[in-house]
Amino acid sequence: MAYKSRVSDAVVRRLPMYYRHLKELEKAGVVRISSQELGERMNLTASQIRQDINCFGGFGQQGYGYHVANLKERIGEILGLHKQYHMIIVGAGNIGRAVANYAGFSREGFNIQAIFDVSEALVGIDVHGILVQPMEKLDTWLSAHQVDIAVLSVPKACAQDIADQLVRGGVRAIWNFAPVDLTLPEGVAVNNVHLSDSLHILSYRMNEKELFAAIDAAKKS
């Protein structure tokens, strides 16, 4: 039987937001915060805050609220941020190099150890202290190293095949920047990131008022 998560995707997507806001509050010296105050900061209702956090047990105190540092630490543990993860990047183009060059990932335990690409122009270049290796060395690397997460930033046409290769090599999760939704076996986590989706949402928000004004006008005509 396929495993079904006990927590909805919507709640999981909000967990990093909680962690980020609590981290900022702790840095600002805030010791405790109520669900109402945290909700106002995050544009969520106090009820939604409590429901989300109660999915993982009760961390608040009646009449006190939440201890900021403790709740941040607990959510960090829920997100698995107390562990270290071994990562590789497949695709050393603009996105792959941007991920490799972001120092914040290593500070949170996501350690990039190798980068691979098919382009002769990119193989051998230094990206944040890591030399790009040719794709033909990928299987050998996977057989000799533990890889928890692979960043996939390759063209759509080859993304699924490379993802299958990564899974066969023992990769447990794929952060996919290729413009295609991957199909992976049970037990392998995937986050399909479509950059254009974010721009489309911005475009919608800019035009939403005019859109519904036109819809309302059409209903009245």
| pLDDT higher than 60, residue 115 | yes
Residue 62: inside a domain, yes or no? yes
Q: What is the rounded average pLDDT for all residues in the chain?
A: 92
pLDDT of residue 125: 97
Q: Which amino acid is at 170?
A: G
Q: How confident is the model at residue 5 (pLDDT cuts 50, 70, 90)?
A: low
Residue 216: inside a domain, yes or no? no
152, 87 contact by CB (below 8 A): no
Verify that 40 and 128 share a domain, yes or no.
Answer: no
Verify that 152 and 178 share a domain, yes or no.
Answer: yes
Range of the domain at 104: 85-196
* Rounded Cα gap, residues 131 and 97, in angstroms: 11
Q: What is the pLDDT of residues 6-48, one digit of tens each?
A: 788 899 999 999 999 999 999 999 999 999 999 999 999 999 9
113 vs 3: which has the higher pLDDT: 113
Percent of the chain with pLDDT over 90: 78
Q: How confident is the model at residue 2 (pLDDT cuts 50, 70, 90)?
A: very low
42, 17 contact by CB (below 8 A): yes
Verify that 56 and 93 share a domain, yes or no.
Answer: no
Residue 197 half-sphere exposure, CB side, CA atoms within 13 Å? 8
Residue 208: inside a domain, yes or no? no
CATH number at residue 70: 1.10.10.10
Which pTM does this prediction carry? 0.86
CATH number at residue 157: 3.40.50.720
Q: How confident is the model at residue 59 (pLDDT cuts 50, 70, 90)?
A: confident
pLDDT (mean) for 86-108 = 95
Verify that 93 and 178 share a domain, yes or no.
Answer: yes
